[in-house]
Amino acid sequence: MKLIKDNGEETQFDKERFRTSLLKSGASVLQVEEVLENILGRIYEGMRTRELYQWAHQLLQEKSHALAARYSLKKALMELGPAGYYFEKWIAKFLEHLGFRTMHSQHIKGHAVTHEADVIAEKDGQLVWIECKFRNTGEAKISVTTPMYVLSRVKDICDKKFHFWGEELEFTRGMLVTNSYFTQDSIDFSKYYGLELLSWDHPEGKSIKSLTDQKMLYPITCLTTLSKEEKEKLLSKNIILVKELEQHEFVASRPELRKEICELLGKA
């Protein structure tokens, strides 16, 4: 059975792949089979993948807000837009929980020109230039021209000393991060020239999706018990991660929200 992606491309419905995506939400095998049975009775030729996602999300939410929150991670990242400013801040906090020191939106004078760095990160003396490419469509792919461009920026700021955190440091490598996907040419080019890539599904086992689940670095936009207005207000106050919201006074008077957070962070 063929489905239609947001970009208009056709894709074959893969029952096992769909089952796996449901299991990754943390749902039990029984819960997944119940959702799957319901979906299989409603799916049709030419159905939009977005509609399929919405049905699955609704069915999971009926079982647990936390299951729906995990399942909606890709959409939640797209809600860190529209321009991607909060996505950059989320990446900075994401890296901090992986042991890095970070700075956000810094102007760096290179050998030739001045560059604005989305994120600068340091760990074990290694200073990393990080370029973030935010996309607000689920199937978008970053073409090879982007890593080519990023590599030229990294070249311009390497072999030069900078002062960060009271230390004299040099950039040792660059990283390109996106909430979407990379084309194979982007991956091949970056591998050859030593540019690190991080995307929704790359590298395998250490992708945004994998590390977010492993470290529970969920953005607040995945929470189903918050309104859009509440999410925007919290983001404006630099509360980006669910972990940060957990102890906030805002949660005390919201038992459903508190329950969702506890379940999402494995504390229920």
| Residue 183 and residue 99 in one domain | yes
Predicted structure pTM score: 0.89
Would you say residue 239 lies in a domain? no
Verify that 8 and 108 share a domain, yes or no: no
Residue 243 confidence (pLDDT) above 90: yes
- Do 129 and 204 sit in the same domain of this protein? yes
Distance CA 200, CA 238 (A): 23
Q: What is the rounded average pLDDT of the residues 46-66?
A: 91
Tell me which of 214, 238, 262 is where a domain ends.
214
Q: Would you say residue 268 has pLDDT above 70? A: no
Token representation of residue 106: 């810094």
Shared domain check, 170 and 96: yes
Is there a domain that residue 70 lies in?
A: no
Residue 229 resides in a domain? no
Q: Average model confidence (pLDDT) for the chain?
A: 93
Same domain, 143 and 186: yes
Instruction: Give yes or no: residues 210 and 90 share one domain.
Output: yes
Give the CATH number of the domain where residue 140 resides: 3.40.1350.10
pLDDT at residue 246 tops 90:
no
d(CA 140, CA 111): 33
Tell me: do 167 and 209 sit in the same domain: yes
pLDDT digits (tens, 9 = 90+) for 75-120: 999 999 877 799 999 999 999 999 999 999 999 999 999 999 999 9
Print the domain residue range for 203.
85-214
Residue 48 lies in a domain: yes
Residues 99 and 205 in one domain: yes
